[in-house]
Structure 1
Amino acid sequence: MTTATTATAAAPTAADGHQVIQVRGARENNLVDVSVDIPKRRLTVFTGVSGSGKSSLVFGTIAAESQRMINETYTAFIQSFMPSQSRPDVDALHNLSAAIVVDQERMGANSRSTVGTATDASTMLRIVFSRLGTPHIGTSTAFSFNTPDGMCPRCEGIGQVSDIDVDQLVDRELSLNEGAITVPGFAVDSWYWQVMANSGFFSPDKKLKEFTEQEWADFLHRPAVKVKVGSGNQTYEGLITKIQRTYLSKDRESMQSHIRAFVDRAVVFADCPECGGSRLGPAALSSRIDGLNIADCSAMQISDLAEFIGKIEDPGVAPLLANLRGLLDSLVEIGLGYLSLDRPAGTLSGGEAQRVKMVRHLGSSLTDVTYVFDEPTTGLHPHDIRRMNDLLLRLRDKGNTVLVVEHKPEVIAIADHVVDLGPGAGTAGGHLCYSGDVAGLRASDTLTGRHLGHRARLREQVRKPRGALSIKGADLHNLKDVQVDVPLGVLAVVTGVAGSGKSSLIHGYLAGRDGVVVADQSPIRGSRRSNPATYTGLLNPVRTAFAKANGVKPALFSANSEGACPNCNGLGLVYTDLAMMAGVASVCEECEGKRFTPEVLTYRLRGRNISEVLDMPVEEAHAFFPTGQARAILGRLLDVGLPYLRLGQPLNTLSGGERQRLKLAINMAEKASTYILDEPTTGLHLADVDKLLALLDRLVENGNSVIVIEHHQAVMAHADWLIDIGPGGGHDGGRVVFEGTPATLMAEADTLTARHLREYVGS
């Protein structure tokens, strides 16, 4: 690997005189010696099919080296607290500036983090209340649910209290010997059960409903105490005491699935009765401005709060009020006016999280910064994309370099410069296909150039529904007593601006019904050992094929079982915990990242060992397995547009769109169902959208019903039936403003969706 450097002489310039970022010989991941000049202080959009190398160039090379070099300017002591970053595989990088990555990573599920805390709006609002609220109760910390001064003493600033439903833990009609405890891990004769049954506090033959008050208290709530079990002393704890210590103190996502299911069933969360869910103590709730306390303000829709703050006038806090108004107006402008400041940050979608992060930078005094965006239009209606474009251009016009990975033609159209990578994905990608202006891209013979003006047409004949799923009286979140029939046996598309209520309607009232399968973009639960081969069940026929070919047992070909490298336990990486410093992952020296023992790697199937097979992309593996279950699973992965995905690629490296398509591939093996897809075009190149539409058609023609929540006009145009929610977002939405065919929408409706679909089809 060669080093990346910044220029020490005059900054490189292009032929038109603009300074440029020079990339020379980039080889990160699948990049093949990519050399390109990217103009500074301009908006550059990076295009190409999924897996073509866009992210490897933008995030893995340019942004990674910029951030690594900035980290090196800190003292060794400060660096010891930062994650270790290796140099990207590139010959040279010249003329970099500080890079700020604005990605779609969720903002964490910390229950104390809200939209207000993430944007500093809550901090400014607290100061306003500490100065102007009556009665005056103290400094700004008195209004913070994250400090002892301001938090509700009952729920400690969480806003919710939890209670354990005892009847989900035990069957009162049974004795311990009869299996009264229904908690995972407490089966009769298990270790925990033996300690309880032999504790002496109650008879294991006595039915729980016959326990005395003291026995019941000992059984459920007794603190840890030593008891004699057999020949030795053991620690006894009441059942609820033990559950709280062993299960409820853990992060939910780290639990095994059966434990998580038990906790979700047994633990009941409710708004705190003392603060009403506001998280704040009585003093903070007593202080008001124009009749509203800070909890009222935080619960308001941001567009309404901006209006409320705009009416407050006080020369003592005028600059602060101006800053708060500017921040709230930016949130409205970016299409997030339907949120509230008390909305937990962990509940935001990836697109919403990215736009919240973007707001932090709009008012920044920094210039000549490189901003890097990952599909900023994700989750946006065409109406909102125009707002996003305006913000990207504003960042550029402040003197910044803006790099955007994007597929939407509306964003490509405003670019000063386009870099197209491909021509394909994975090993078929990684080449520079085009670099220049948008007009040149249109004229080029690249896949992106050919599809830039492509438009999906309306169906000549829409399919007839075979019944419907009825929704009545829907009032979740901002929905306003919605009554609607979602047709079955067709492709039904639910659309509307961000925050209009689409997801509330479909996920809130259809998900969970019999025969309904949801394939969304949420993270796939699993450890760093999980990959497409394990998740789809593909590994089982692969292991069987290897075992049969070599006359050995299948367990040898699992990195989680007998064949695992003993040094890294089959991970391929060794994680070193550095106590107070960030942990470091390094490639295992024993197996060189191959995950298996040397003996296992000697066994071959048609000339390939198990490590080489797991390193294959789906397309290559599909050709390698000509028959059987493996080929069927790989065929479904090809159908959903994942030919470039490596079989052993860790699941935590997949994008939201890739996760959704992987879930869809698994569910396609099920019998006829109703599929709910949430923005399946996320991360798809223009050329791949046609493939997605063909897949959706195939699902319907095979007897399924497909319900798609989507903003992409190509999907709307291709639908048999459209349900448009709106007319706006937040409290301006929550109604069905149209239901019918796309042709009827274009001919008769005047919704935002109708206007944009007419423009799309007519262009």
Structure 2
Amino acid sequence: IWQIEGHAIAVWSPAIRNRKGTHADLFRHLVEQGWTEGRINGRIASFEDEHNLDKNLRHDIDVRIDRLRCTKDRRQRLTEAVESALRIGGGTVAIESIKAPEANFEFSEGSKSNETEVGQTMVWSEEFACPEHGAFMPEMSPRVFSFNSPLGACKSCQGLGVQRRFSEELLVNRKATISEGCIIPWRQSMSPHWYRKLMEQTALHYGIPTDVPYSELDDDAQDILMNGSGSTIIHFEFTSETGSQYKYSKPWEGVYGRLQKTYTETTSERTRSRLIACMNDEPCPDCNGEKLNPAARMVTVGGKRLPEIGAASVHEALDIIRSMRGDGKSAEELDERSAFIGREILKEIEGRLDFLNDVGLDYLTLDRRANTLSG
């Protein structure tokens, strides 16, 4: 209580944060439990009144647990209020200062209560989470920092650090025209005529010539063919050899979109293998090749993130570890508590890096893939 000592405070429990719904059941449950007052979308309200919240909009609901003057003799009351707030708020509690300490109030030694302004709200969480934005991290353990574990891996690339993406260089015969079938995988498909007609009619809609080599088309034309027409509707019409007609209208999804859909939905290994031959491994756009999820890759020790240490050479990583122990400038020196906790771990890491450095492998980066090594 050293930040709010002497203040008149309100204890709030954030029961709902940025969630859609009418929340009628929550209001009824709160009233049954004796919690009748709070805030709805920032405005003071009684939960006993009828609130017709729009179910399609997102709402914030805070429950006022108690109001009291924060003094030592009210410690038990404050404790009970905080426990209730944590229970209702799923591990989160907010304390708001509503009145400054009285002029003759005697503060405890080391109190920072005078630095807290009236109207200021402080939020705490029991979890490894941001109480303001809800960003969550599980309890830190080795698995959280492993890209081989679902707890630590980037959700987009499953911890690989790369994503397979279609390459224009491998997809397109740049010397061929649209009418000649410039998309290589579609030449080998079961319906080359169908795909060629789709591209020809898309080109007709935009006035793109179909008898000019792909390499000579301007950038806008190539972008439309490869990435699609966006929300622009194109009218497609097909006539079979028997004379029957088929018409439909929809946006052109682009070569990339069509092939990605085929790759995702096909059950044919032959088709999948043919499409893989037109793909390259590119750094994952979400983790930028760092393989870990956002929470894991932003944890720092000595001012360094795990991916930064992994991207360092053996020699550079050795300097970083030694700097954490106070023998260098490549990282921040750990404080006394952190140094005590990590003493044996740092000793073990330094020993292994020292060995690699001594046998002449100091130039290798720690995150280098095994298939790029010789010998």
**Do the structures match in fold with TM over 0.5?**
no
The TM-score normalised by the length of structure 1 is 0.21
Q: Which structure would you say has the larger Rg? A: 2
Q: Which has the higher strand share?
A: 2
The TM-score normalised by the length of structure 2 is 0.38
